[in-house]
Amino acid sequence: MIGDLQGKVAFITGSAGGIGLGMARAFAEAGMKIAMADVDAEALEQAASDLEASGATVLAVPLDVTDPAGWAAAAEKVQAALGPVQLLCNNAGVSTLGLKFGQITPELWTKVVDTNVNGAFNGIRCFLEPMVAAGGGHIVNTASMGGLFGGIPDLTAYTATKFALVGLSESLRAELAVDGLVGVSVVCPGGVRSRLWRTSLRARGVADADAVPSSAGGQSASPDGMDPYEVGLRTVDAVHNNELYVITHPEFRAAIVYRHDQLMAACDHGEAVGAELHPNPDENGTARLDGTLLVETLTGGNPKPPAL
């Protein structure tokens, strides 16, 4: 695992503002050298300059996370200037705030998936092997509460990608746990004051604006949202403790429990239907396959899942 953060290098995408900048501040305070990446080169330069003025070691790296060649060039630049990256924070993201599914064009859907999901894939593919070679590290993927429960209108593309990031993080963590060199966390925030509404306008091809259009809205535009620096602090804590889920807004517990209860009810119904369709499951001399073996594998034979 990554161990002591002091003097090690963090690479953080979407860090010209919002949650990414909050992470950059928090990990800099923990003693890390920070490579700040963002597609908005002008905003990135200003954010990096401000963080550097606080005493942090900072490198600004303009990057479109959808471009694999851009990732390769960025990795080379960071390695030469700061050293090996041992913390990767895949934070860059866009949304389709305010758009119903029927209003989302194929081009916009692809843009959201490319940025939110493929961007994370590109980052992991770029840094995972060097991270292992450096002795270990940690990967952080920024998802959302929208990746833990659905049912939120006008956010289909965003929710789909955030569910994907949760699944990616869970599976990658299990895969990497075999060697124990790289940890994985997934950040699932609720409302945070960020630039998401603004970057999402650009993704939709809408002109930039200083005021939030009524069609954009969303919790990222609310002055009552969490300070992104606090999300950064909670992420530092998760990396220190190798936690899988970073829940910044536990007040959403009821929504998570509601979805869980729906899944359990569906399992009960599936069991009842199965009993009707297969009243004699062993009549052919073979037992039907079920999830018991997989559950035992996931929990180490313990009926209670291990601490994540």
**Residue type for 24, please?**
A
| Residues in CB range of 288: below 8 A, 6 or more apart | 278, 281
Residue 44: Cβ-neighbour burial (10 angstroms; 0-12, 13-18, 19+): buried
**Residue type for 265, please?**
A
Q: Which one from 158, 229, 245, 258 is the annotated catalytic residue?
A: 158
Cα distance between residue 40 and residue 89, in whole Å: 17
Cα distance between residue 120 and residue 178, in whole Å: 21
Q: Mapping DSSP to helix (H, G, I), strand (E, B) and coil, where does residue 109 land?
A: helix
Residue of 100, 101, 118 lying closest to 161 (CA atoms)? 118
Task: Please state, in angstroms and as integers, the Cα–Cα distance from residue 183 to each residue in 8, 168, 227, 304, following that order.
Answer: 15, 13, 26, 22
Cα distance between residue 184 and residue 239, in whole Å: 8
Consecutive H or E run containing 239: helix 228-241
Pairing of the two strands 245-246 and 182-187: parallel
Residue 158 bears catalytic tag: yes
**Residue type for 304, please?**
K
Backbone angles phi, psi at 182, to 5 degrees: -130, 125
Pairing of the two strands 85-90 and 33-38: unpaired
Beta strand spans in the chain (E): 9-13, 33-38, 58-62, 85-90, 137-142, 182-187, 245-246
Catalytic residues: 158
